[in-house]
Structure 1
Amino acid sequence: MKKEWFFDRYCGQQFVALLEDGKLAEFAAEKEKNGEIVGNIYKGRVMNVLAGMQAAFISCGLERNCYLSIEETYTDYSKYDGTMGGSGPQLPELKEGDEIIVQVTKPPRGNKGAKVTTHLSFVGKNLIFLPNTDFVGISRKITDPELRENLLFTADRMREREGEGFIVRTQAPFVTRKQLKTEAEYLKNLYRDMRDFAKGAAVGAVLYKDFDLPVRVMRDSMGDDVTAMYVGDDDLYERLLKLARLRGDISERKLIHYTGKRALMREYGISPLVFAAAQPTVPLDNGGYLVIDRTEAMTVVDVNTGSFVGDTRLEDTVFSVNLAAAREIARQVRLRNIGGIVVVDFIDMTEEAHREAVTAELTECLSKDKAKCHVLPMSELCLTQFTRKRVGCDVLSYLVKPCPHCRGNGDVPEDIFVITRIRSDILDCFANGYHAAVVELNEGILRRILGEGLLSGEVNTIWRDKRVYMIPHKTFQEAQYSVRGDNSGVLHLPDKAQILY
């Protein structure tokens, strides 16, 4: 399989996309400042104890109180082979006002606060250090019995006290035992420094912050099977080049510095694929289609035959559409990063063998997802339920926001998504030979561009010898804009027009 990764940063955001055989498999975006909080460790205060639920609400300095549950862990131990010491994770005895160290496991969602755990994890390239969880485990992708035994023995020997543990990650076989011990000591030092800092820190302080998006992808998601990595930013390219050298299992030749005149994501056809990920309707290659609807409790997927009529009997036509839908649903939940409960309304099939085959296909495709999934048998109504572990924010939270005009019943594009599209159109203008670009846009969008300096990097570098004029309109919807190029030398613009910076 051809795997191509794309990295870029602009407008105060960082972007990562993965193409598998030309299809968009993953996409993520994150603010450069105060971005993803999952993995961060905070000093919190217990605000309310729910004894009957073995849970508590913790104030961590975030917008809403965080939810601490006995069931919540940052590391999913069920993904690894190993032995849990004692009786497994336990919630400490808490009372209101207690100060406590917690790690964010899931981001805020809707009107709910983040979820946190007291069972901390420090993630490295080859190891995960568990300072207060008695567990020694190993990745199931390491299959050689003798190698597994040796690595587990090494991990066990690196424990200094009872109650702590290690998990051996997939990349561990590619390094020496000395390198593993060095990484283990580094992770232990991170924990010690965090613990010492916590003693004098105020409630709400960030005690430890996980790496940013590009580094996490290099650390957690990228294997030696990568075909190429394209990087559209100079500084980011240098950072990732150093990381590739440190890893050792990814050739530097696979890291490609993109220096084209157009936006990286648009040049490689990724931008329209990302836009499509925000749409509820997903076409299938055979003419059928899916409709994906989000609700507060779950995500619902409806399968339709569309223009596909088949060649033989109805049962075979329906079976063919459902098989294609099962494959596409697995891709879509991964691409959109959909978590929680998903219910699929497949087209009715009468043959039990067909129902089992569709369920098996869905299960097989979901098994390739790094997020844990669990599929239940198809019901007599051809409804299939499955769960997918929530990992970070879903893609729609970056692309769209609740519509302010219909009280959240619909969605409109997020401001930053509109601004990145404007940036790409301006780059296209200059790539087409124009020296000036005139942008007509919503008044509020312009205020944000100017107030946050979202295009200042381009103005000071690649647009130094160009001119960008912004014309704000009160009557424009937030997503409404136009960009045109001009080489006339004399522009007739309204008084409200502004030159960018």
Structure 2
Amino acid sequence: MNYKSTQYEDILISTTCFETRVAILENSIIQELHIEHNMQRNIVGNIFIGKVIRVLPGLQSAFIDIGLDKAAFIHISDFRENKHENTMTPSIEKFIFPGETILVQVIKDQIGTKGARVSTQISIAGRMLVYLPFDNCLGVSQKIKSEIDREKIKTRVQSLITNNRGGFIIRTQAEEATDEEISADLKYLNTLWENIIGTAKSNRSPSLIYKDLDLPHKTLRDMVTQKTRAINIDSGHVANNLLNWAKIFNPSITEKIHYYDKETSIFEAANIDQEINTALSKKVELKSGGYLIIEETEALTSIDVNTGGFVGGKNFKDTIFRTNLEATQAIARQLRLRNLGGIIIVDFIDMDDQDHKKAVLKELQKSISKDRTKITLSEFSQLGLVEMTRKRTRESLTNQLCEPCNICQSRGVIKTSRTICYEILREIVKESKQFNPKEFRIIASQKIIDMFLEESQYLTIIEDQIKKPISLIVENGYYQEQYDIALL
């Protein structure tokens, strides 16, 4: 294949008995990482028969039992009937009531303590089309920008839809597809929906009636583009399965599917594991010497841009501008790699020049345009901040691979050894007023004991004050904030 453009993609699929990992590389640099644990499969796209367990009119929402450990959540905006309502403030009680059986599809995975979010607006993705069985529209993917191209593909697909009920959204892959391929996709989606309806009729709530494709097959369906150069898989079994699937549903990509059988692991050879570790840290180094600080919270994600050691501009104003420009590409990459969602606040280095601000914003818009996930971008605020929202459908990389720190109690910092020492001394004074032991014994880590020895004069003062001896014992198994005070 001849690649006239310098932009190309490689897809790496690594599978084990416990997980599947997919890396999307652009020009050999990782941009996206998808992980699916076999014990915790992504459930976005799955369809359930659920039972309404609680309706909350004040929040215009309801909780639905779909058979998972947490009840699913649905908002009034997620009802397909509501899309055709003329009234400004419809009540959720008009659509749903406790005890009702309802067909829903997961649109957002369980994240943290929140249950999955579901919708009655069912959609089933094929390779060329997305089928909307309860709608009657014919839409075109927003990624097809040209109005002429949009009308052209819409007219072509419309001519192929004959006896189909429901609506469709035309995907970008349909632009390069033949009429035969689009017709085959139509037939596949119709057959799939008939099977789903049949399963729903023979099952009671709560139950799963349709499971979306697993990650490897979903990768072939949703992530392979014209830029994809190769799809390398480190499992012969999975490679054969994907090849057989591609022969039926996407024959044009069969030559791109390869079995990777080298001794060095596929992720190690591409330095992916090191990139994952970097993506779990707060600091991201820029090539110029500047850096980003990325802080994730439950409410939002903040990204702070800093010049660091960069002094490459003609003057300080130019240095700031160059650093901010470079940061835009790094920010776009980190959004995808870390799968950051929700509200994102970017604090660029302050710029007075309005042309510089426009150039930075334009470069950021260009960089995020490659993202498969919907992003909205605001102008610079009066405080010099840029606000973005990125659609959140699954856990971020950090939430997927990490858990709250037991040592710092999720604060992200721990108390200094001096702070802990003074805390212990205050507690001893307090205990001395309630108890009358012969001796107080402090059991703590080596660093805490060293601090006590360094500031031994305070121990002496407290001993004189409480008129009791205080002894010190090192416990190597204790972390810095952990200690015990024994009353002997």
Does TM-score exceed 0.5, indicating one fold? yes
Of the three residues 161, 164, 171, the one matched with 1:159 is: 164
> What is the Cα deviation at residue 245 of structure 1?
2.9
> What is the Cα deviation at residue 475 of structure 1?
7.0
C-alpha contact 2:65 2:206 (8 A) present in aligned 1: yes
User: What residue in structure 1 maps to residue 210 of structure 2?
Assistant: 208
C-alpha contact 2:160 2:179 (8 A) present in aligned 1: no
> What is the Cα deviation at residue 61 of structure 1?
1.3
Distance 1:152 1:251, change over 3 A: closer
Residues 235-384 of structure 1 correspond to what in structure 2 (within 5 A)? 235-246=237-248, 247-252=250-255, 254-384=256-386
> What is the Cα deviation at residue 356 of structure 1?
1.6
Distance 1:73 1:289, change over 3 A: farther
Number of equivalenced pairs = 402
Amino acid at match of 2:53: M
Distance 1:86 1:156, change over 3 A: farther
Of the three residues 97, 107, 128, the one matched with 1:105 is: 107
C-alpha contact 1:292 1:299 (8 A) present in aligned 2: yes
C-alpha contact 2:11 2:24 (8 A) present in aligned 1: yes
Matched, 1:55 2:57: no
Q: Deviations over 1:118-160 (max 9, x none)?
A: 0101111111110112321122444454632423423654533
> What is the Cα deviation at residue 251 of structure 1?
5.0
C-alpha contact 1:44 1:102 (8 A) present in aligned 2: yes
Amino acid at match of 1:193: N
Distance 1:135 1:409, change over 3 A: farther
The two structures, once aligned, show a CA RMSD in angstroms of: 2.6
User: What residue in structure 2 maps to residue 78 of structure 1?
Assistant: none
Q: Deviations over 1:346-373 (max 9, x none)?
A: 1111111111211111112112211111
User: What residue in structure 2 maps to residue 117 of structure 1?
Assistant: 119
Of the three residues 128, 136, 139, the one matched with 1:137 is: 139
Distance 1:176 1:356, change over 3 A: closer
Percent of paired sites with the same residue: 35
> What is the Cα deviation at residue 59 of structure 1?
1.2
User: What residue in structure 1 maps to residue 428 of structure 2?
Assistant: none
Q: Deviations over 1:93-135 (max 9, x none)?
A: 1111111111100111121111100010111111111011232
C-alpha contact 1:15 1:27 (8 A) present in aligned 2: yes
The whole-number CA distance in structure 2 between the counterparts of 1:85 and 1:72 is 12
SS state at 2:268 partner: helix
Q: TM-score, normalised by structure 1?
A: 0.75
The whole-number CA distance in structure 1 between the counterparts of 2:163 and 2:406 is 55
User: What residue in structure 2 maps to residue 32 of structure 1?
Assistant: 38
The whole-number CA distance in structure 1 between the counterparts of 2:307 and 2:188 is 55
- By percentage of residues, which structure has more helix? 2
Give the gaps of 5 or more residues in structure 2: 1-6, 414-475, 480-488
Give the gaps of 5 or more residues in structure 1: 75-83, 412-473, 478-501
Amino acid at match of 2:359: A
The whole-number CA distance in structure 2 between the counterparts of 1:134 and 1:69 is 22
Amino acid at match of 1:109: I
Matched, 1:148 2:153: yes
Greater Cα shift, 225-234 or 391-400: 391-400
Distance 1:8 1:357, change over 3 A: same
SS state at 2:379 partner: coil
Distance 1:112 1:86, change over 3 A: closer
SS state at 1:404 partner: coil
